[in-house]
Amino acid sequence: MRRARTVTLLAILLLIVLAALAGLRRLRQEPVAAAEETFPTGRWHRAAPDSPADAVERARLLSLPYLAGRQPAPAATGVVRAVAGRVAPVRRLYTSGHGPEAFLIEPDGTVAGRWRQPYERAFPGAHGGSDLAYFRRAVPLPDGGLAALFQGGGVVRLDVRSRLVWAWRGATFNDLWPLPGGGFLVLTKEARTVPEIVPGREVLEDSVTELSPEGRPVRSVSLLRALHDSPFSEVLEPLSTGEDILHANTIQVLDGRCAGRSPLYAEGNWLVSLREIDTVAIVDPAAGRAVWARRGPWRRQHEPTLLSSCRILLFDNRGLDGASRVLEVDPLTGEIAWSWAGEAGRPLSSPEAGTAERLANGNTMVVESEAGRAFEIGPEGEVVWEFVSPHRAGRANELVATLFEMRSVPRSEEGDGGGT
């Protein structure tokens, strides 16, 4: 009896050992599920792999002279493509989701200036989240300083050495525009009820707020009311059921060069982009009303700017069957004069953010924000310059910081460059 019990116990132990060995074998053969992915503070996206065309181009660049004898770095970051004689000879300013700083670079990627100011240092006692961990927008100033916007947190003015000149705390969003007298226009949001326009619920009301040269608020114009009180109020129908009903993301102050074509383009009027309603509008700030508004062949657009040709250049985030493209459009007729949707085999794609700027040499600077890339495009759509963000994170550098903007900076606007 005792022997039978012993045999039974040994058999059970043997089965346990065999089961454990089988489990170890499965662990070796099957990948263990990864822990939930965590992103660092700031704004990041998973980096897209290089296309085959990128690999070929990279190999070609490694064997050819590059920008007066320089060779590209082996890593696929920084300036990875440049066509001699085709690149605009201007410096470029960029901001990125990796941190509260802006970089001024030469066309070859050399850093010519850098400004940095953490949110907690500019606003002592404030606690910043991910949206306050980076500059969403930055503007170089004639004295070599910089004005920068924290998303939802305020505006700072820095001197050439990144020392704080002033800081204004407010619900800022996406864009600011320098004024000739030293002040700024900044897009702002405020949660409130507007029963005569949106009854029964609280919404985020978008406004344009003017700051004095000393960083004090001077006035604020509601973009929601500017549309509602205008002949173009139909663009407000239907409104989103969420809080963010307009989502203003860009402002440009018109210089009057196109006023001869239409009084809509009068000097001092504002060109604004309202992403949530797929609308571009012109606002007369003195009257506080929209004088023009249009939906077009674009969706979720960013960065409309009025060109000297009196056409509008913008980044169309999702208007091409959900894909991205850059459009040059006649605002009065809706005719598309030029477009760019990426290269063969690598379509342009940035569902959010993105910018487009027409350069003095006729090229167009395009920022594919979520991919962390910037391109300089020739008039025929050829890429003559390409920049890949060096700001990476993750165990294998698989995350790239959002590249919010890459703006040309004429020498007269940059002072002596910045430094921390």
| pLDDT for residue 64 | 34
The alpha-helical segments, DSSP class H, found in 73-165 are 119-122
Residue count of the chain, please give it: 420
| pTM, rounded to two decimals | 0.84
| pLDDT for residue 58 | 40
Pairing of strands 346-347, 355-358: unpaired
All domains of the chain, ordered by start, with CATH? 70-413 (2.130.10.10)
For residue 258, what are its two tokens?
Answer: 């196109």
DSSP 59: H
Question: Tokens 């000097």 sit at which residue?
Answer: 267
| pLDDT for residue 44 | 86
In which residue ranges of the chain is pLDDT below 70? 1-39, 48-75, 412-420
Coil, strand or helix: which one is 328?
A: strand
| pLDDT for residue 49 | 59
